[in-house]
Amino acid sequence: MTTALSLANSRRPDGTRVLTVIGEIDMSNAATFAAALTDAVDTDFEAVDAGHLVVDLTAVEYLDSAGLAALFPHAERIQLVVTPLLEPLLTISGLADLTTVHRP
Amino acid sequence: MSSGGHQPRGDADVFAVDEEIGRDLARVDWAATSLGPPADWPQSLQTAVRILLSSRFPMWMAWGPQLTFFCNAAYRRDTLGRKYPWALGRPASEVWAEIWDDIGPRIDTVLNTGQATWDDALLLFLERAGYREETYHTFSYSPLRNDTGGLVGMLCVVREDTDRVIGERRMATLRDLGSDPSVVRTEQEMLAFAARQLDRNRRDLPFTLTYLFSDDGHARLAAATGFTAAHPAAAATLSPADPEALWPTAKLLEGESARVPLDGDRFAGLPTGDWPKAPTEALLVPLRQQGVVPYGFLVAGVNHYRALDDGYRGFIELAAGHVATGIASARSYQAQQRRAEELAELDRAKTTFFSNISHEFRTPLTLIMGPLDELRLRLHDAEQPVQEELEVIRRNGLRLGKLVNSLLDFSRIEAGRMQARYEPVDLAAATVDLASVFRSAIERAGLTFEVDCPPLAEPVHLDRGMWEKVVLNLLSNALKFTFHGAIRVTLRAEDGQAVVRIADTGVGVPEDEMPRLFERFHRIENSRSRSNEGSGIGLALVKELVGLHGGTITADSAPGEGTTFTIRLPFGTAHLPAVALAPAVTGTAVVSASAEPFVQEALRWLPAIIGPVTAVDHDQPVEDGHLRRGVPARVLVADDNADMREYLIRLLRNAGHRVDAVADGQEALELARAETPDLVVSDVMMPRLDGLRLVAALRADPRTAGTPVLLLSARAGQEASIEGLEAGADDYLVKPFSAAELLARVRANVELARLRSHHARWRTALVDSLQEAFFVCAEDGSVVEVNAAFTDILGYGPEDLRNGPVQPWWPDPDIEPEAHRQVTEAFEVLLRQSHGSYTAPVTHRDGHRLWVAATFNQVDDPDTGRRMIVGTFRDVTAEHYAVQRESALAALSMRLSQAEDLTDALHGVLAELRRLWRAAGVLAAVFDGAHAPVLTATDPELRWDALAEQQRRDLTALRDKPLLTPVAGHTGGAGITVEHPHGTMAIWIDLGEKRPFTEQDQTLLALLAGHLSQGLHRVHQIDQQRETALALQRAILGPAQLPTGFAVRYAPATRPLKVGGDWYDTVELPDGRIGIVVGDCVGHGLQAATVMGQLRSACRALLLQDSSPAQTLTALDRFAALLPGAACATVFCGVLDLLTGELRYSSAGHPPAVIAHPDGTVHLLDQGRSRPLAVRPGLDRPEADCVVPARATLLLYTDGLVERRRQPLSVGIANAAAAIQTGRAAPIESLASDVMDQMAPDGGYDDDVALLLYRHPGPLELEFPAESTHLAPVRSALRNWLDRCGLAPANAYNVLVAAGEACANAIEHGNHDSSGGRILLRAAATADDLRLSVTDTGRWRTPQPAANSHRGRGLVLMQALMDTITVTAGTAGTTVDMQARITR
């Protein structure tokens, strides 16, 4: 059984693309998450400025090093929205230094 | 129970220990008794019989349901009498039916309580000699146990005290009879006193009658004891002629004893004394007096319960002897008293009479003689007949005048009014002149008269008048008794004295008259003389007169050969009163007119002078028969003056005494010590050792301390005599003394000494008849006197006594230093204290050890005034060893009862044996057959292999000796073999060098070994029982498949090791909740454990049926009411929701559970309480709810954990709560161990303890395949658990991620290294932190961030999120331990 994860792409009124992640990300579904992330970044690679993909992790209840591993390659082209629960993790892993982190 | 296939041995030879008793025991048809054949007897019975038979102390024992009787040879000899061998194997109640009322309850006590009894000299009426006999026994009953420790019989160690008790009683009576001589005044008083003493011993003398014979031979009742009313047997008078008389008076009158059976109506209703039945026999004993018919006789009723044996008869005879002595003494006292009074009166009257009459005579005599002389002158030429008649008148007038003058002289001397005038006189001339007066008369009598008086160098001071009377009296006396031969007067100076001898060749004086020669008014009867005239006053006056001159006069005489009087007069004036001295009167050598009557009188005796024989002398000598009956005495004379010595010898020999004479005090002392005289007569002034020092030396020596001493001294005056008497002299006589006075004093002192020695003989008889040993010690501890019992007990007699404290019966200090020390200490007590008692070891002459209990008193010897120690002792050897045995057994039992197991028991026992014998060491080797012997020793380091080869061989040899038979080694030690549960055990006691192992030691060792063997078997059985019970308990309690979060403990009580009825339980209920129970059944042991098991099961079943704790307990009430032993059990029952921590509980009289919160507060679950189980079954019980918060700890326990003596329960509960609270951060298992350790008292738990701990929530434990798909549900469960742990979300999230990373790592490794790997996640919380562990079955690969950067990142995350991370990699797998503090 794979860990529950739903991924949804959307666009804000200002045109910013948002990847909304709901569920948990661990080694069992990290690949799915990574693929979706890459897909979203790559899909709009030409049109979008760096940093214009917002990955909304507000509804992610669990994220570990497998999920971080998916985020790191795209750090310069994404912005993150996380609850305070996940913040220490981003800080400890150094991802917060590479990308912009927003509170919801 | 024995192990290793070992079988008890030696059944067949159970009776072989004592050949004689054993043979008779073997003849008993045991199969017919309740004990069955000996082959089937249990080990304990065999042991007991062996001990019994091998003991030399009297013992019997009773065993089994019928208390079957056994005894040993000593008991048979001392006590059993004719009941042997009939008694063997019979019920004890049959053997001792007659005393069963006395001893039955004691035996019951022993069998019911296991407590030994002790009775000292108990009176028991035994029928062992054909009659009911008064006997006394000192005994103890000790319990006997069977192989399983049950009480099955008793052992009686007994010493028969009959002889001692009865002997002491009789001795007391005899002592009392002689106790107060002051009461012996009159015969009546004496008889009343004796009767009171006899009446005090109504056991030996139920009644007595004292008859005294009258002169007519009739017997008159003088005293009676025991009678309260008139009785025909106590007839007031008895006639010897009456054939119908009750008592054979005639026979007793002849001095014979008689035994009279008291049957027939005449003797009905006699007094019974202290007994239920009256005497059936009386012993009649004469009250003997020396040489004549008895004073009377004593009738003594004989104790119904004692045979009239030699001892009894001797006692009655001694009592009668004492009564007889008392009568003699009273009668003699009265006679003496009467005579003394009469004599004194007579003497007074006589003196007054003579004094008056003499004066009265002189006046008429003068008026007769004056006119007579006138008449003679006027009628000188008258007729012859007229002249002759005038001459007759004149002669008799002169004689009467002489007589009156002599009497007057005496009166004067007695009244001290003799006026003397001492002037220096030429004694030779004076004596020759006086002699010449008698020459014609003597020559006319046809005798030769020789006067040989050469002049002396110096004059002698004389009163001329007195001297005339001396010489004339003596010459007249000589003439009177001499018919042939010569009269001779000589004068010599001898030894500084003038010695005048007047000797004749007359009839002489019979030897027996010599002592009284100079007594006043004493005349020698039936003696041939020229005249029967004589007043018996002449020689007495001579003696007094010579005495006034400071001289002495003695007489030597042989019947038929003549008599010599010797007068010794001192020269000089030192011996004379100064006021009476006068200068010499010149020309006075003229014989005074007073000489004429002597000559005239003497001439009248001669045949040539015709004259009528007138004046028949009626003077009667004073008959002093009483004093004259004295037996000759042995007198020792000490005087340096040979003449004086000779004089004294002669005087005393003539008086019939045996005389030894010596020249000084030293010789006298030596002679007196060699052979004690009856009397010592000693001068005061002597060379070498003077009289006073002689007295002191005699008094200082116990052998001569009582010998009377009469001192003679020339020193007059009161001071001198006081000095002499103070020195201890009995009498004092100042020189010059009259022969009569000396002899009277000698006689008085000898009589006194005889009386004393009579007392001494009586005292010796009394002391010798004491059954207790008697001794007298001097101040330095020298034993100076012992009695017969002393010799009986110690084997040493008076001849063995040594000077100084150390006596031959003292234990040898080299061989027995301990015994020597004890006797030395006892001896110091004896010397230091004024009275007291002690018990000490002594050595009998034949070498065996005795223990004696002595009582002593210091007394002052009335003769010498010195401090003496008088003591008695008795042989308490048997008691000593009985006490030693009892205390050794008690100590041994104590050791055995305190032992935790067999090994501990053996260690304790060996230590006890070592202590008891003060041994260097004690070894025990158990030979179990299979292995090398197992050695136990007081030296804990010692092993079998470390023993010397010889020691190993000795122990092995000991193994093959018979069981329970002590073996004394030749190298200072002893061994014995006993049965150990694992095989034969050889015990060796190493005493060290030169210590004997006595017979008593051997008996004690055998006894202890017997108990040891039984005790070890008992410990072994208890061991096994305990192990069984513990195993059972543990089997019932565990192995509980405990829900997670719980920890439980059970500990049995440590001393005495007991399992009990405590339990804990957890029950998983259908609704997912958990029932938790802790309970405590009443009592200990297997039975309590069984009850506990049943209650536990019932409680469990009830909880499963209905999850209400209150209802469960109510239902359990009903169950417990039906289950024996279950009532009053206490139970705490709760139902716990593991998810929420909600707890519903009810307590049946159980101590409250405790909750320790993570913040450090504690809370007691003291609601829902009610009574213990089955106390009021049917009543509802309350219950209460509470919540166990996250990370709080719940404690359930039984009272063994908290209950302490002298401490309220609340203190113990608070202590337990504090322990939980302190340990709230510790893992639950280690907390359980810590609490059990912390709460245990110093000596371990004295009650069993059950304990149950729960910490909420219980630990999480997840096991899952190492596949990533399992991660999400694991995480979910962990999240849920963390939530129940009350963690803050951020805190929980960190833990969750760290755990996730660890699991991810594990999945990676599991996948790589093996297929089907599994992962175990464990998580547990304490109050303050969390511990997690993730274990897999693989090996972690080295982090390679470059190749797989996110894996490396995982580790970094874990380290960052948790406080500590430990990775332990092993061949079987890898474990990650993580710990995180909980933030609030």
3-state secondary structure B783-802: EEEECHHHHHHHCCCHHHCC
Residues 406..465 of B with a Cβ closer than 8 Å to A: which?
none
Encoding tokens for residue A16? 């910013």
Query: Would you say residue B10 has pLDDT above 60?
Result: no
Report the CATH number at residue A28.
3.30.750.24
What is the Cα–Cα distance from B224 to B298, expressed in whole angstroms? 9
| Structural domain boundaries enclosing A93 | 5-102
Looking at residue B616, its pLDDT comes to 27
Query: Would you say residue B625 has pLDDT above 50?
Result: no
- Bridge-based pairing state of the strands B1074-1084 and B1130-1136: antiparallel
Residues of A in contact with B1356 (CB under 8 A): 92-93
Q: Which of B1268, B1289, B1353 sits opposite A93 (nearest CB)?
A: B1353
Looking at residue B1348, its pLDDT comes to 53
Could you tell me what percent of chain A has a pLDDT over 70?
90
Looking at residue B1042, its pLDDT comes to 82
Helices B1085-1105 and B1109-1122, packing angle to 10 deg? 140
Residues of B in contact with A88 (CB under 8 A): 1290, 1294, 1361
Task: Please check whether residue B654 is in contact with residue B559, taking contact to mean a CB–CB distance below 8 angstroms.
Answer: no
A66: closest CA of chain B, how far (Å):
6
Contact B1300 A28 (CB under 8 A): no
Query: Would you say residue B762 has pLDDT above 70?
Result: no
A12: closest CA of chain B, how far (Å):
30
Taking residues B76-98, report their average pLDDT: 89
Looking at residue B204, its pLDDT comes to 92
CA-nearest residue to A24 within chain B is B1272
Q: Which of A2, A64, A85 sits opposite B1290 (nearest CB)?
A: A85
Q: Is A6 helix (H, G, I), strand (E, B) or coil?
A: strand
Q: Which has the closest alpha carbon to B868: B944, B774, B957, B941?
A: B774
Interior angle at CA B143, CA B137 and CA B145, nearest 5: 150
At B1148, the pLDDT band (50, 70, 90 cuts) reads very high
CA-nearest residue to A4 within chain B is B1272
Contact A28 B1271 (CB under 8 A): yes
At B335, the pLDDT band (50, 70, 90 cuts) reads confident
Query: Would you say residue B628 has pLDDT above 50?
Result: no
Query: Would you say residue B829 has pLDDT above 80?
Result: yes
Query: Would you say residue B5 has pLDDT above 50?
Result: no
Taking residues B831-851, report their average pLDDT: 84
* B1347–chain A Cβ distance below 8 A for any pair: no
Element (H, E) at B1076: strand B1074-1084
Q: Which of A1, A62, A64 sits opposite B1354 (nearest CB)?
A: A64
Query: Would you say residue B1104 has pLDDT above 60?
Result: yes
Could you tell me what percent of chain B has a pLDDT over 90?
16
Query: Would you say residue B1321 has pLDDT above 80?
Result: yes
pLDDT higher at B10 or B164: B164
Contact A62 B1350 (CB under 8 A): no
pLDDT higher at B995 or B979: B979
Taking residues B1311-1315, report their average pLDDT: 53
* B1295–chain A Cβ distance below 8 A for any pair: no
Looking at residue B610, its pLDDT comes to 33
Encoding tokens for residue B85? 């061998």
Query: Would you say residue B612 has pLDDT above 90?
Result: no
Average pLDDT, chain B: 82
Taking residues B719-729, report their average pLDDT: 68
Q: Sheet with B68-71: list strands edge to edge.
A: B68-71, B59-63, B151-160, B132-145, B117-127
Cβ neighbours for B463, distance < 8 A, ≥ 6 positions apart? B420, B421, B422, B423, B548, B549, B580
DSSP per residue over B545-599, as a string? Answer: HHHHTT-EEEEEEETTTEEEEEEEEESBSTTS-GGGB-PPPTT-----TTHHHHH
Is the backbone peptide bond immediately before B364 cis, with ω within 30 degrees of 0?
no
Contact B1272 A93 (CB under 8 A): no
Query: Would you say residue B1022 has pLDDT above 50?
Result: yes
Q: Which of B1269, B1289, B1361 sits opposite A2 (nearest CB)?
A: B1269
Contact B1304 A3 (CB under 8 A): no
B1157: closest CA of chain A, how far (Å):
28
What is the Cα–Cα distance from B908 to A100, expressed in whole angstroms? 83
Q: Is B1178 left (phi over 0), alpha (psi -120 to 50) or beta?
A: left
Q: Which of A26, A72, A86 sits opposite B1271 (nearest CB)?
A: A26
Taking residues B147-157, report their average pLDDT: 85
At B914, the pLDDT band (50, 70, 90 cuts) reads confident
Query: Would you say residue B984 has pLDDT above 60?
Result: yes
CA-nearest residue to A84 within chain B is B1290
Contact B1354 A1 (CB under 8 A): no
Element (H, E) at B683: strand B679-683
Tens digits of per-residue pLDDT, B1213-1258? 999 999 999 988 888 989 999 999 899 888 788 888 999 999 999 8
- Which range (B192-206, B566-580, B787-801) has the least confidence? B787-801
At B627, the pLDDT band (50, 70, 90 cuts) reads very low
Is the backbone peptide bond immediately before B1182 cis, with ω within 30 degrees of 0?
no
Looking at residue B334, its pLDDT comes to 81
CA-nearest residue to B1290 within chain A is A85
What is the Cα–Cα distance from B862 to B851, expressed in whole angstroms? 32
Looking at residue B1032, its pLDDT comes to 67
CA-nearest residue to A83 within chain B is B1290
Task: Please name the residue that has the structure tokens 């005889």.
Answer: B754
Tens digits of per-residue pLDDT, B673-719? 878 888 899 888 777 788 888 888 887 776 777 788 888 876 545 55
- Which range (B73-87, B293-307, B342-356, B1214-1228) has the least confidence? B342-356
Confidence (pTM)? 0.41
Looking at residue B1242, its pLDDT comes to 82
Contact A26 B1296 (CB under 8 A): no
pLDDT higher at B361 or B52: B52
Tens digits of per-residue pLDDT, B164-199? 888 888 888 888 887 665 545 688 888 888 898 899
Residues of A in contact with B1291 (CB under 8 A): none
Q: Which has the closest alpha carbon to A81: A61, A53, A56?
A: A56
Q: Which of A4, A62, A92 sits opposite B1296 (nearest CB)?
A: A62
Contact B1354 A2 (CB under 8 A): no
Taking residues B396-411, report their average pLDDT: 76
Residues of B in contact with A63 (CB under 8 A): 1297
Domain count, chain A: 1
What is the Cα–Cα distance from B976 to B1013, expressed in whole angstroms? 11
At B3, the pLDDT band (50, 70, 90 cuts) reads very low
Looking at residue B1255, its pLDDT comes to 93
CA-nearest residue to A61 within chain B is B1293
Query: Would you say residue B250 has pLDDT above 80?
Result: yes
Q: Which of A1, A64, A84 sits opposite B1304 (nearest CB)?
A: A64
Contact A69 B1350 (CB under 8 A): yes
Q: What is the DSSP letter of B716?
A: -
Beta bridge partners of B62: B69, B154
At B720, the pLDDT band (50, 70, 90 cuts) reads low
Query: Would you say residue B4 has pLDDT above 50?
Result: no
Residues of A in contact with B1271 (CB under 8 A): 3, 26-28
Contact A26 B1300 (CB under 8 A): yes
Contact A72 B1275 (CB under 8 A): no
B1321: closest CA of chain A, how far (Å):
17
pLDDT higher at B125 or B797: B125
Looking at residue B864, its pLDDT comes to 65
Residues of B in contact with A4 (CB under 8 A): 1272
First vs last C-alpha separation in chain B = 63
Q: Which of A1, A3, A64 sits opposite B1301 (nearest CB)?
A: A64
Widest pairwise Cα distance in chain B? 207
Looking at residue B1193, its pLDDT comes to 94
A44: closest CA of chain B, how far (Å):
26
Looking at residue B618, its pLDDT comes to 29
B1302: closest CA of chain A, how far (Å):
11
Contact A92 B1361 (CB under 8 A): yes
Contact B1293 A85 (CB under 8 A): yes
Taking an 8 Å Cβ-Cβ cutoff, which residues of chain A contact chain B?
Answer: 1-4, 24, 26-28, 62-66, 68-69, 72, 84-86, 88-89, 92-93
At B69, the pLDDT band (50, 70, 90 cuts) reads very high
Interior angle at CA B1293, CA B1289 and CA B1299, nearest 5: 145
* B1301–chain A Cβ distance below 8 A for any pair: yes
pLDDT higher at B1303 or B12: B1303
- Which range (B202-206, B832-836, B1019-1023, B1299-1303) has the least confidence? B1019-1023
Q: Which of A4, A66, A72 sits opposite B1272 (nearest CB)?
A: A4
Looking at residue B1131, its pLDDT comes to 95
Q: What distances in angstroms separate CA B303 from CA B30, B137, B174, B622, B915, one per listed residue?
A: 40, 19, 17, 53, 50
Contact B1293 A92 (CB under 8 A): no
Give the amino acid at B1298.
A
Structural domains of chain B ordered from first start: 12-160 (3.30.450.20), 167-341 (3.30.450.40), 418-605 (3.30.565.10), 634-733 (3.40.50.2300), 774-875 (3.30.450.20), 881-1025 (3.30.450.40), 1042-1255 (3.60.40.10), 1260-1381 (3.30.565.10)
Which of B1294, B1297, B1359, B1361 is best to mutate for the A interface (most A CBs within 10 A)? B1297
* B1350–chain A Cβ distance below 8 A for any pair: yes
CA-nearest residue to B1306 within chain A is A27
